[in-house]
A and B are shown apart, each in its own frame.
Chain A
């Protein structure tokens, strides 16, 4: 039994401190996942909290078929997708007036490229990141989820299959289509020479 399973078992016996340990261990990853799904910090915070509360309530259903981390990703994914469906709108439509923090800590005003961008203006890593974030936010949920789980959270195909409750074959094809869709959009903007 690994340490996570031991903590789950301890929590099942009534020790809520054990759950806090699990929450401390996974808070960063779950928050990061929620941030990628929701596109802003406030929603990410709420959804991450919600995911942990749901996990606490349904801890007895954790059978150890997957790792606790994968199980948490699954809960967080479902929480975020449910919320996105409820809102029925595309998230991560960035406000043009809201400045964007760069890696250096400076803030730059965001610009959405015009219809005929030139590569030398927009081909910088920060613009690429900005545009990737924007396109990710506009993607279909199942495409976005696979890219986030694989390319950001570094889950294996098997783990993604467990999170999404589908086959590895489905993960392969979904991820392939999602990446191709993203690649084409970036390519149109000449962000991927």
Chain B
């Protein structure tokens, strides 16, 4: 074997990583080649010298500093939470209460405050909530009040993520839908034997700059094949601390959710996320109903051995629609990650 070939084997030979044949080749060659024998010896000496390089001991403060950094970043472990009963959408985090206060103040400027408080009190008494009402209750009450009044002039207080934008411009997908409520539309609904549930994760993150953080969230969504949505909120909302805030949402396939959550922690200190369930059974059933109709039409057309050109074109169109509806089901079951960004102020 030539020196060039043996030269490539000397390093693995030194580590006993050559197979039997290769080892024999090396040993046979170096027995008669002083140059390669010398090279092997140099390698051995060099590896020993590298191995013996001194490394300073880790300073005693390492663990203490690490703990401090972890504590300062307010990191909690992202663990699974098993919710026994499905909850409505909710915002969790320190800044959420400030949103509730700001929304209340904003809404009270245009709504009869007394009615709203009375409604809220009634709900709180009914649900036996603690005196500090959750954001959910406040926002639900505002929505309920607005729906009752049916006043087109009042702004829509909507922090729920928009439904999937599949390009359907019929209008029913352009507003947030309450889970479990069947949107109106054509077709009969066939109840699914299994409920369709998508996960909803909510968290808040303290960031240095909201603008760049939003860009990063969009990038994270893109990297993971997800859909980014900016959640509308009444303008001028600020946290009680006076810092700027922004609510956004990412929808991703469930298998990418953990990766997205981990990437989001790079934005800043994140609060412990809360996990909820979103019942999308009715939406999935509606789409499934359309799928069933299309499949029926496809079967009929395919059963015809003498298809006309029109039939073939129709078949292509139906297959295309079928693909889109199947995609829609996938999108409906996506995990929704709601993120409340709060810009750290100069305090």
Contact = CB atoms under 8 A, between A and B. Distances in A.
User: A and B bound?
Assistant: yes
B17 interface: yes
A152 B53 contact: yes
A49 B66 contact: yes
Interface stretch (A58-66, A70-78, A83-91, A108-116): A58-66
Given A48-B62, A129-B52, A157-B17, A56 B70 contact: yes
Given A11-B77, A14-B77, A152-B53, A27 B62 contact: yes
B308 interface: no
B79 interface: yes
A158 to B, nearest CB: 10
B49 A172 contact: no
A103 B70 contact: no
A110 to B, nearest CB: 15
A24 interface: yes
B46 A53 contact: no
B55 A27 contact: no
A125 B49 contact: yes
A136 B51 CA distance: 13
B66 A152 contact: no
A35 B70 CA distance: 22
Interface residues of B, number: 41
A45 B265 CA distance: 22
Contact of B12 (A103, A128, A172, A192): A172
Given A49-B66, A151-B47, A183-B39, A57 B56 contact: no
Interface string A121-137: 00001001100110010
Interface string A20-50: 1001100110011001100001000100110
Contacts of B63: 20, 23-24, 27
Interface string B21-59: 000000000000000000100110111011111111111
A52 B11 CA distance: 32
Given A150-B15, A179-B46, A183-B42, A57 B75 contact: yes
Given A57-B265, A182-B46, A49 B65 contact: yes
B225 interface: no
**What's the interface size class on A, roughly?**
35 or more
Nearest to A187: B42
A157 B42 contact: no
A147 B51 CA distance: 10
A142 interface: no
A20 B67 contact: yes
A3 interface: no
B317 to A, nearest CB: 43
Contacts of B51: 151-152, 154
A164 interface: no
B125 interface: no
B256 to A, nearest CB: 12
Given A132-B49, A151-B51, A183-B39, A53 B66 contact: yes
A103 B54 contact: yes
A35 B55 contact: yes
Interface in B1-27: 7-8, 10-12, 15, 17
A183 B41 CA distance: 11
A150 B48 CA distance: 11
B73 interface: yes
A61 B261 CA distance: 11
A80 interface: no
B258 A61 contact: yes
Nearest to A176: B11
B106 interface: no
A175 B67 CA distance: 36
B79 A133 contact: no
A129 B65 contact: no
Contacts of B70: 16, 53, 56
Contacts of B65: 49
A129 B42 contact: no
A2 interface: no
A68 to B, nearest CB: 16
B79 A14 contact: yes
Given A31-B55, A49-B69, 16 more contacts: A27-B63, A41-B56, A53-B73, A56-B75, A60-B258, A61-B259, A103-B54, A129-B54, A133-B53, A157-B15, A172-B11, A173-B8, A175-B11, A176-B12, A183-B39, A192-B45
Which 4 pairs show the lowest CB-CB distances between chains A and B? A176-B11, A31-B58, A151-B50, A32-B55
14 contacts: A14-B79, A24-B63, A32-B58, A35-B56, A36-B53, A129-B54, A152-B50, A152-B53, A157-B15, A157-B17, A175-B12, A176-B12, A192-B42, A192-B46
Interface of A: 11-14, 16, 20, 23-24, 27-28, 31-32, 35-36, 41, 45, 48-49, 52-53, 56-61, 103, 125, 128-129, 132-133, 136, 147, 150-152, 154, 157, 172-173, 175-176, 179-180, 182-183, 186-187, 192
